[in-house]
Amino acid sequence: MKIPCLTCAVIISVMSVYPVICSARHPSQAIDGRIDQMINTYLNENSLNNPDTRKFPERITAVSVSIFLPYESAPLTGDLRNYYAGVAGYPPLNKPVNENSLFEIGSITKSFVSAVILQLQAENKLALDDTLEKWLPQYKQWN
């Protein structure tokens, strides 16, 4: 009788650990594929190739998306996934976007960034005279 109880205990233990093991592999290829599909759908609906200019008057050629996908077992940890679709520029100078591509910031975003920078200055966490390289060393060419 001890053997079936031990077997049940092992099976229950494995079953309770299995979701943690599965979530540790998150994000799955299914999630990546779904996100890629959503990004490509958005790009196709709003790209220069779409003749319906009433829907989205500002035509786009590329999309870059960063998504944090938390693990189910530990929501404060997870994977930061980056997705890229489309091309930067117009023919004949266009090329596929990647992790090194730079994107323009929309006009409304400048207001948000300015407000945050002024708040950080008020908290003495940065100075308005700081170079961009001090805070974003990966953009040395912008100094």
Residue 2 binned pLDDT confidence (cut-offs 50, 70, 90):
very low
Q: Is the pLDDT of residue 99 over 50?
A: yes
pLDDT at 14: 40
Please state, in angstroms and rounded to a whole number, the distance separating the CA atoms of residues 38 and 73: 26
Give how far the C-alpha of residue 86 lies from the chain's centroid of Cα atoms, to the nearest Å. 16
pLDDT at 65: 85
Q: For residues 29 and 20, which has the higher predicted lDDT (pLDDT)?
A: 29
Tokens encoding 109:
């975003």
**Residue 11 CA neighbour count, 13 Å, CB half:** 6
pTM across the whole model = 0.52
The tens digit of pLDDT for each residue in 61-96 reads 888 888 888 888 877 888 888 888 988 877 788 889
Tokens encoding 107:
């006009």
